[in-house]
Amino acid sequence: AAKEEGKDRGSLYEPAMELEQLRLQAMRERIAQALQRSHLQLLFQPIVYIDGLPGLHGVAGMEALLRLGDTDELIEPAKFMHVLDDPQLARPIGRYVLDEALRCCQSWMRAGISIPVSINISTRHLLHPAFFIDIDAVLENYPGVMDVGFGIEVTETGPSMDHARAKVVIEECRRRGIRVGLDDFGTGSASLSHIQKLDIEHIKLDQSFVRDILDDERNMAIAAGVITTARMLAKTVIAEGVETAEQGDLLASLGCHQLQGFSISRPMPAEAVPAWVAGWVPPASWGSLVSERQS
Ligand code: C2E
Ligand code: MG
Ligand code: MG
Ligand code: MG
């Protein structure tokens, strides 16, 4: 490991950088161990329709979010983002998430709730030569899930992105009936014309635009423009990071199709999903905003 670290030492080498390297390496080892000892778990955050109905018909799906730990003290991906795209670990992590997410979806079906599930795919795994071996294995193991709906969220940032290859992989996913969405839209370089070419079904408007949509006119203009253009291209727009009812109301009035965020629900354990879905009631304000826009 000392030799590998040495490679990164440029003229700007400082002890603090070495400490940071050690910290990153320690987290990498922790995840590698967690994979072996099942110390990882998924939480699920609902994505809801703005014009949906109470209960199952108002919920578009559940996004799986990875956590390290098997107790109440869970560590969020911010602490291990670098590991998610690690050349050795991206695929094992991805396989765990695939298997666990579809297993949970199947368990909700057994509880009488047919709700689509989506997962985040690292670029490293998406472009891995064995990606479809992993995909096809879970589709075979959990056959009912495809009827309910299975989606992946990809990001176009990251050093390992290769757009030509991503296009082929996305087409191959769509051929299998997998819904493909682009995460964190607006933060990277992807344009809407690019999304059209890549055959992406939905985009997730990044939290950074949603966060101060009420106070910052420019962010509001960007959000409005993205939503309008995406609608004309027949793409679904999901706003992420909706923390307040006011943000949700504004996004609804702008024509956003689906919302996700703490104001709707924080991520929850799989066991809590069926009851949450059954109890979901969309805010009354969304309905009037949607009909106002359409009239
Ligand atoms: P993401 O896919 O864009 O997920 C949204 C993140 O925002 C999640 O953080 C979620 O908990 C958080 N969030 C949701 N609603 C709100 C809100 O109203 N306010 C705020 N401030 N935050 C909100 P999380 O779970 O920590 O995940 C962070 C990122 O880590 C994800 O961003 C995704 O890029 C990555 N990630 C998570 N799970 C996985 C996974 O299984 N595999 C891979 N490759 N990446 C994952
Ligand atoms: Mg996501
Ligand atoms: Mg996102
Ligand atoms: Mg994100």
188-242 residue pLDDT tens: 777 787 888 888 999 999 999 899 899 999 989 999 999 999 999 999 999 999 9
ipTM of the complex: 0.98
Q: How many helices (H) and strands (E) does the chain have?
A: 14, 9
Contact (CB, 8 A) for 205 and 257: no
Closest ligand 1 atom, CA of 119?
Answer: 41
Q: How far is CA 190 from CA 63, 123, 182, 185, 266, in A?
A: 22, 15, 9, 7, 28
pLDDT band at 121 (very low <50, low <70, confident <90, very high): very high
Residue 223 host element (H or E): helix 217-232
Give the Cα separation of 275 and 128 in Å (integer): 37
The reported pLDDT for the residue numbered 160 is: 60
3-class DSSP state of 156: coil
pLDDT band at 158 (very low <50, low <70, confident <90, very high): low
The reported pLDDT for the residue numbered 288 is: 74
Amino acid at 226: V
- The ligand 1 site (C-beta within 6 Å) comprises 45, 64-66, 76-78, 84, 97, 119-122, 153, 183-184, 207, 240-243, 261-262, 267
Query: pTM for this structure?
Result: 0.92
Q: Looking up tokens 């490991």, which residue turns up?
A: 1
- Find the range with the poorest average confidence among 63-72, 89-98, 109-118, 273-282: 63-72
Give the Cα separation of 138 and 152 in Å (integer): 13
**From ligand 1's centre to the CA of 75, what distance in Å?**
12
Sign of CA dihedral 127, 74, 98, 178: negative
CA nearest ligand 1 atom 17, residue: 241
